[in-house]
Amino acid sequence: MNASERSRPASLIVSELLKRRLLIVMGKGGVGKTTISAVLGSLAARARGDTLAMETDLRAPLAAAFGHGPSLTPVEIAPGLATMVLDGRHALEEYLQIVVPGRMVLKAVFSNKLYQYFVQAAPGLRELMMLGKVYYELERKPAGQRKWELVVLDAAASGQALGLLKMPAAAHDTFGESIVGREANNIGRMLHEPRLCAIILVTTAEPMALAETLETHAALSALKLEVAAIVLNRYKPKQFGAEDVARLKRRSSIRRELSHLEHLGALANQELERTTRAREALTMLRSRTASPIVEVCEYRTLFGSSLVRQLTDDLTADERAAAHPG
Q: What is the CA radius of gyration of the chain?
A: 23
Encode the chain in three state secondary structure.
Answer: CCHHHHCCCHHHHHHHHCCCCEEEEEECCCCCHHHHHHHHHHHHHHHHCCEEEEECCCCCHHHHHCCCCCCCCCEEEECCEEEEECCHHHHHHHHHHHHCCCHHHHHHHHHCHHHHHHHHHCHHHHHHHHHHHHHHHHHCCCCCCCCCCEEEEECCCHHHHHHHHHHHHHHHHHHCCCHHHHHHHHHHHHHHCCCCEEEEEEECCCHHHHHHHHHHHHHHHHCCCCEEEEEEEEECCCCCCHHHHHHHHHHHHHCCCCCHHHHHHHHHHHHHHHHHHHHHHHHHHHHHCCCCEEEEECCCCCCHHHHHHHHHHHCCHHHHHHHCCC
Position 41 confidence tier, pLDDT thresholds 50, 70, 90: very high
Q: Is residue 172 part of a domain?
A: yes
Q: Give the HSE-up count for residue 149: Cα atoms under 13 Å, Cβ half-sphere.
A: 16
Q: Is residue 28 part of a domain?
A: yes
Q: What is the mean pLDDT of the chain?
A: 82
User: At residue 22, does pLDDT exceed 90?
Assistant: yes
Q: Is residue 219 part of a domain?
A: yes
Percent of the chain with pLDDT over 70: 74
The pLDDT, as a whole number, for residue 240 is 47
Position 106 confidence tier, pLDDT thresholds 50, 70, 90: very low
Q: How many domains does the chain have?
A: 1
Q: Summarize the confidence of residues 146-157 as an average pLDDT.
A: 94
Instruction: Report whether 10 contacts 295 (CB < 8 A).
Output: yes
- Reported as a single tens digit per residue, the pLDDT across 219-269 is 999 999 999 999 999 987 655 445 554 555 555 554 554 555 555 556 555
User: What's the whole-model pTM score?
Assistant: 0.83
Position 118 confidence tier, pLDDT thresholds 50, 70, 90: very low
Q: Is residue 71 part of a domain?
A: yes
CATH number of the domain that residue 58 is part of: 3.40.50.300
User: At residue 6, does pLDDT exceed 50?
Assistant: yes
Q: Is residue 282 part of a domain?
A: no
Q: Is residue 277 part of a domain?
A: no
Q: Is residue 78 part of a domain?
A: yes
The pLDDT, as a whole number, for residue 121 is 47
Domain hosting residue 19, numbered range:
3-236+291-315
Position 159 confidence tier, pLDDT thresholds 50, 70, 90: very high
Q: Is residue 63 part of a domain?
A: yes
